[in-house]
């Protein structure tokens, strides 16, 4: 009976109206280009016409050694780039955040800012500055090592096949260590005092307090940081391009998916760009990142325990 009396709920126009700008902008600048890329990867330019070729571009990418060797090389390098970030950037970020959140530390605002500043620098500046710092001719690195008598440790890192990628990964770590630091710092600050006090009452202090109480509470943040690092690293391009050029030398040892995509899509010097093959590589990058994010969302995040305060 009551249902008859209740007025029919009017269509809630305002939801659509408020969603529209975001949906439209996101569709126009994200979804359409993405769909366009996926579509482009299924075509090939044959005598000035775009012809549908199905998965032929992907067969070339994986079947033709001229492409597949480069692709696997780029993927391996990219994975190493990611591993360095996970092993160096994130633990250091957590450590810095733990130090910064210590109430006894003086000038913590200064340290926080100083460590975060490189993050907002342009890649071009970072690449150029480090190229100069590490330059065997005019760099400060050989000079500083000389001052402490370790000149023999210096090698032209950016020019050696075996070190270049690791050196660049560490430069990138230097630049971005501020982001995990800030996120973890915020997470640490949000841990309620009562929890800490309770732990202290139970006799858990110092390092064991960090390992047993704080770390489990910030694990969700570490998960988010890992996935951000993953997406960022597999989309990386700028630093390698500014420091090593599009050919990602020496001997393609710093070639990552981003630079490989750039050469294929836009061409380089005499190499004419092939947008279709480029789109195929971009599609692979998209799938790799999508796969990684899915693994995280479905396998890792569901198992992380969240604590409600």
Partner 1 sequence: MTTKLLTALLLGTSILGSAGVAYADDVTLNIESWRGDDLAIWKDKLIPAFEAKNPGIKVVFAPSAPTEYDAALGAKLAAGSAGDLITCRPFDKSLELFKKGNLADLSALPGMENFSPVAKSAWQTDDGKASFCVPMASVIHGFIYNKDAFDKLGIKVPETRDEFFAALDKIKADGTYIPMAMGTKDLWEAATMGYQNIGPNYWKGEDGRAALIKGDQKLTDKDWVAPYEELAKWKPYLGDGFEAQTYPDSQNLFTLGRAAIYPAGSWEIGLFNTQAQFKMGAFPPPVEKAGDTCYISDHTDIGMGLNAASKNADAAKTFLSWVASPDFATIYANALPGFFSLNSAPVKMEDPLAQEFVSWRGKCKSTIRSTYQILSRGTPNLENETWVESANVINGTDTPEAAAKKLQTGLDSWYKPAK
Residues near partner 1, by CB under 8 A: 48, 65-67, 131, 134-138, 142, 154-161, 244-245, 247, 249-252, 263, 268-272, 274
Smallest gap, in angstroms, from Cβ of residue 42 to partner 1? 19
Smallest gap, in angstroms, from Cβ of residue 270 to partner 1? 4
Q: Identify the three-state secondary structure at position 103.
A: coil
CA distance 63 to 5: 69
Q: Which is nearer to partner 1, 136 or 216 (CB)?
A: 136
Smallest gap, in angstroms, from Cβ of residue 256 to partner 1? 16
Residue with tokens 């810095």: 96
Q: Which is nearer to partner 1, 154 or 286 (CB)?
A: 154
Q: Which is nearer to partner 1, 172 or 226 (CB)?
A: 172
How many C-beta atoms lie closer than 10 Å to residue 76's C-beta?
13
CA distance 142 to 164: 16
> What is the residue-wise DSSP string for 39-50?
HHTTEEEETTEE
Token pair listed for 288: 């790799």
Smallest gap, in angstroms, from Cβ of residue 26 to partner 1? 24
Residues 6+ positions from 247 with CB-CB distance below 8 Å:
255, 263, 268
Are 216 and 187 contacting, i.e. CB atoms less than 8 angstroms apart? Answer: no
Q: Which is nearer to partner 1, 70 or 89 (CB)?
A: 70
Smallest gap, in angstroms, from Cβ of residue 187 to partner 1? 38
Q: Which is nearer to partner 1, 172 or 244 (CB)?
A: 244
Task: Strands of the chain (E only): list them.
Answer: 43-46, 49-52, 267-268, 271-272
> What is the residue-wise DSSP string for 254-279?
T--HHHHHHHHHHEETTEEP-HHHHH
Smallest gap, in angstroms, from Cβ of residue 34 to partner 1? 22
Q: Which is nearer to partner 1, 183 or 256 (CB)?
A: 256
């Amino acid at each position: 009976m009551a249902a008859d009396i209740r007025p029919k709920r009017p269509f809630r126009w305002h939801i659509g109206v408020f969603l529209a700008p975001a949906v439209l902008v996101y569709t126009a600048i994200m979804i359409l280009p993405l769909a366009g890329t996926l579509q482009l990867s299924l075509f090939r330019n044959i005598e000035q016409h775009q012809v549908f070729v199905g998965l032929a571009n992907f067969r070339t990418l994986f079947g033709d050694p001229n492409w597949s060797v480069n692709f696997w090389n780029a993927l391996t390098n990219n994975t190493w780039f990611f591993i360095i970030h996970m092993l160096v950037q994130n633990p250091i970020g957590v450590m810095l955040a733990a130090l910064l959140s210590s109430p006894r530390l003086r000038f913590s605002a200064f340290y926080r800012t100083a460590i975060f500043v490189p993050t907002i620098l342009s890649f071009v500046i970072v690449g150029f500055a480090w190229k100069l710092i590490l330059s065997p001719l005019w760099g400060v690195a050989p000079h500083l090592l000389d001052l402490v008598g370790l000149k023999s440790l210096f090698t032209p890192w950016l020019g050696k096949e075996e070190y270049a990628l690791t050196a660049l990964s560490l430069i990138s770590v230097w630049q971005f260590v501020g982001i995990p630091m800030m996120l973890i710092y915020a997470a640490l600050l949000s841990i309620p005092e009562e929890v800490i006090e309770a732990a202290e009452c139970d006799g858990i202090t110092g390092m064991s307090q960090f390992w047993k109480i704080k770390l489990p509470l910030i694990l969700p943040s570490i998960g988010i940081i890992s996935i951000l690092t993953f997406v960022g690293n597999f989309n990386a391009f700028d630093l390698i391009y500014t420091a090593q050029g599009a050919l990602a030398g020496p001997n393609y040892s710093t070639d990552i998916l981003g630079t490989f995509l750039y050469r294929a899509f836009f061409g380089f010097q005499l190499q004419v760009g092939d947008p279709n093959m480029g789109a195929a590589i971009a599609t692979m990058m998209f799938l790799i990142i999508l796969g990684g994010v899915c693994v995280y969302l479905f396998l890792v995040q569901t198992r992380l325990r969240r604590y409600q305060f």
